[in-house]
A = this chain, B = another copy of it.
Amino acid sequence: MAEKEKLTIVVFSGELDRALAAFMLATTGASMGMDVSMFFTFWGLNIIKKNQGGIKSRGLMRKMLNFMNRGGTKRLKLSRFNMFGLGTWMMKKLMKDINHPSIEELITMARQMGVKVIACTTSCGIMGLDEDAFRSEVDSLAGAAYFLGEARESKVALFI
Protein backbone atom coordinates (compact mmCIF):
# COMPACT_ATOMS: atom_id res chain seq x y z
CA MET A 1 0.00 0.00 0.00
CA ALA A 2 1.25 3.46 -0.88
CA GLU A 3 2.30 5.74 2.00
CA LYS A 4 0.02 8.62 2.70
CA GLU A 5 1.33 12.05 1.76
CA LYS A 6 2.16 14.19 4.77
CA LEU A 7 1.18 17.74 5.72
CA THR A 8 3.02 19.31 8.67
CA ILE A 9 2.09 22.67 10.18
CA VAL A 10 3.97 24.66 12.84
CA VAL A 11 1.48 26.87 14.64
CA PHE A 12 3.50 29.69 16.20
CA SER A 13 0.78 32.36 16.34
CA GLY A 14 -1.96 32.49 18.94
CA GLU A 15 -4.57 34.62 17.20
CA LEU A 16 -8.03 33.38 16.29
CA ASP A 17 -7.66 34.10 12.58
CA ARG A 18 -4.40 32.20 12.21
CA ALA A 19 -5.73 29.36 14.38
CA LEU A 20 -8.71 29.09 12.02
CA ALA A 21 -6.44 29.06 8.95
CA ALA A 22 -4.26 26.33 10.50
CA PHE A 23 -7.20 24.08 11.41
CA MET A 24 -8.99 24.66 8.09
CA LEU A 25 -5.86 23.53 6.25
CA ALA A 26 -5.36 20.60 8.63
CA THR A 27 -8.93 19.30 8.31
CA THR A 28 -8.95 19.85 4.54
CA GLY A 29 -5.65 17.96 4.25
CA ALA A 30 -7.05 15.07 6.33
CA SER A 31 -10.22 14.98 4.19
CA MET A 32 -7.98 14.66 1.12
CA GLY A 33 -6.34 11.60 2.65
CA MET A 34 -3.20 13.32 3.88
CA ASP A 35 -1.44 12.39 7.11
CA VAL A 36 -1.50 15.67 9.06
CA SER A 37 0.60 16.80 12.06
CA MET A 38 0.26 20.12 13.84
CA PHE A 39 3.10 21.30 16.03
CA PHE A 40 2.15 24.11 18.46
CA THR A 41 4.83 26.40 19.79
CA PHE A 42 5.11 29.80 21.57
CA TRP A 43 1.80 31.72 21.39
CA GLY A 44 0.30 28.86 19.37
CA LEU A 45 0.13 26.87 22.61
CA ASN A 46 -2.73 29.17 23.67
CA ILE A 47 -4.96 27.58 21.04
CA ILE A 48 -4.71 24.14 22.60
CA LYS A 49 -4.84 25.13 26.27
CA LYS A 50 -7.88 24.09 28.31
CA ASN A 51 -10.64 26.68 28.56
CA GLN A 52 -11.45 25.76 32.15
CA GLY A 53 -9.34 25.66 35.27
CA GLY A 54 -6.18 27.44 36.26
CA ILE A 55 -2.72 26.56 35.05
CA LYS A 56 -0.36 25.42 37.75
CA SER A 57 3.17 26.67 37.27
CA ARG A 58 6.08 27.26 39.59
CA GLY A 59 7.64 30.61 40.33
CA LEU A 60 6.15 34.08 40.35
CA MET A 61 7.14 34.99 36.79
CA ARG A 62 5.64 31.87 35.24
CA LYS A 63 2.47 32.36 37.30
CA MET A 64 2.25 35.94 36.00
CA LEU A 65 2.89 34.89 32.41
CA ASN A 66 0.26 32.16 32.53
CA PHE A 67 -2.23 34.52 34.09
CA MET A 68 -1.80 37.19 31.41
CA ASN A 69 -1.30 34.73 28.58
CA ARG A 70 -4.14 32.50 29.74
CA GLY A 71 -5.16 30.95 26.42
CA GLY A 72 -7.96 28.55 25.54
CA THR A 73 -10.12 28.84 22.41
CA LYS A 74 -12.58 31.19 24.14
CA ARG A 75 -9.88 33.79 24.75
CA LEU A 76 -8.36 33.90 21.25
CA LYS A 77 -8.56 37.26 19.50
CA LEU A 78 -8.27 38.42 15.91
CA SER A 79 -4.86 39.78 14.89
CA ARG A 80 -6.63 42.80 13.36
CA PHE A 81 -9.89 44.60 14.19
CA ASN A 82 -10.20 43.01 17.60
CA MET A 83 -11.64 46.35 18.81
CA PHE A 84 -11.86 45.30 22.47
CA GLY A 85 -13.55 42.07 21.46
CA LEU A 86 -16.20 43.50 19.11
CA GLY A 87 -14.38 42.48 15.90
CA THR A 88 -13.70 39.01 17.25
CA TRP A 89 -17.33 38.61 18.25
CA MET A 90 -18.44 39.79 14.79
CA MET A 91 -16.13 37.34 13.03
CA LYS A 92 -17.59 34.47 15.06
CA LYS A 93 -21.12 35.60 14.16
CA LEU A 94 -20.25 35.85 10.46
CA MET A 95 -18.83 32.34 10.51
CA LYS A 96 -21.90 30.97 12.26
CA ASP A 97 -24.08 32.79 9.76
CA ILE A 98 -22.74 30.68 6.88
CA ASN A 99 -22.58 27.55 9.07
CA HIS A 100 -18.81 27.55 9.11
CA PRO A 101 -17.42 25.41 11.97
CA SER A 102 -16.02 27.37 14.95
CA ILE A 103 -12.43 26.92 16.13
CA GLU A 104 -13.78 24.65 18.89
CA GLU A 105 -15.56 22.47 16.33
CA LEU A 106 -12.55 22.45 14.01
CA ILE A 107 -10.31 21.12 16.81
CA THR A 108 -12.77 18.31 17.53
CA MET A 109 -13.11 17.54 13.80
CA ALA A 110 -9.33 17.53 13.31
CA ARG A 111 -8.96 15.03 16.13
CA GLN A 112 -11.71 12.77 14.75
CA MET A 113 -10.04 12.86 11.35
CA GLY A 114 -6.75 11.66 12.84
CA VAL A 115 -4.80 14.93 12.81
CA LYS A 116 -1.89 14.71 15.26
CA VAL A 117 -1.78 17.62 17.74
CA ILE A 118 1.62 18.12 19.35
CA ALA A 119 2.85 20.73 21.86
CA CYS A 120 6.47 21.95 21.68
CA THR A 121 8.51 20.70 24.64
CA THR A 122 10.89 23.67 24.68
CA SER A 123 8.13 26.31 24.73
CA CYS A 124 6.38 24.35 27.49
CA GLY A 125 9.64 24.33 29.44
CA ILE A 126 10.16 28.08 29.10
CA MET A 127 6.55 28.94 29.97
CA GLY A 128 6.28 26.35 32.74
CA LEU A 129 3.47 24.33 31.18
CA ASP A 130 2.94 20.60 31.55
CA GLU A 131 0.49 18.22 29.87
CA ASP A 132 -2.21 19.20 32.38
CA ALA A 133 -2.47 22.64 30.80
CA PHE A 134 -3.70 21.22 27.48
CA ARG A 135 -6.97 19.91 26.05
CA SER A 136 -7.56 16.20 25.69
CA GLU A 137 -7.03 16.47 21.90
CA VAL A 138 -3.28 17.00 22.45
CA ASP A 139 -1.42 13.78 21.69
CA SER A 140 1.96 14.49 23.20
CA LEU A 141 4.82 16.88 23.76
CA ALA A 142 7.76 16.81 21.34
CA GLY A 143 10.71 18.97 20.33
CA ALA A 144 11.86 20.79 17.21
CA ALA A 145 13.74 17.68 16.03
CA TYR A 146 10.45 15.80 15.93
CA PHE A 147 8.88 18.56 13.84
CA LEU A 148 11.79 18.69 11.38
CA GLY A 149 11.77 14.90 11.13
CA GLU A 150 8.11 15.01 10.10
CA ALA A 151 8.55 18.09 7.90
CA ARG A 152 11.30 16.62 5.80
CA GLU A 153 9.12 13.65 4.95
CA SER A 154 6.20 15.94 4.12
CA LYS A 155 4.89 17.07 0.78
CA VAL A 156 3.85 20.35 2.39
CA ALA A 157 5.26 22.03 5.53
CA LEU A 158 3.97 25.43 6.64
CA PHE A 159 4.85 27.91 9.42
CA ILE A 160 1.75 29.80 10.56
Interface of A toward B, CB cutoff 8 Å: 5, 7, 10, 12, 14, 17-18, 21, 24-25, 28-29, 31-32, 34, 41-43, 59, 61-62, 64-65, 68-69, 79-81, 90-91, 93-95, 97-98, 100, 122, 125-128, 143-145, 147-149, 151-152, 154-160
Out of B43, B95, B144, B160, which one reaches A17, CB within 8 Å? B43
Out of B29, B69, B94, B145, which one reaches A31, CB within 8 Å? B145
Do A95 and B126 have beta carbons less than 8 Å apart? yes
B-side contacts of A14, CB under 8 Å: 80
Do A127 and B28 have beta carbons less than 8 Å apart? no
Do B61 and A94 have beta carbons less than 8 Å apart? yes
A82 CB → nearest B CB, Å:
12
B-side contacts of A95, CB under 8 Å: 126
Do B42 and A17 have beta carbons less than 8 Å apart? yes
Do B32 and A148 have beta carbons less than 8 Å apart? yes
Query: Complex: how many Å from CA A65 to CA B80?
Result: 11
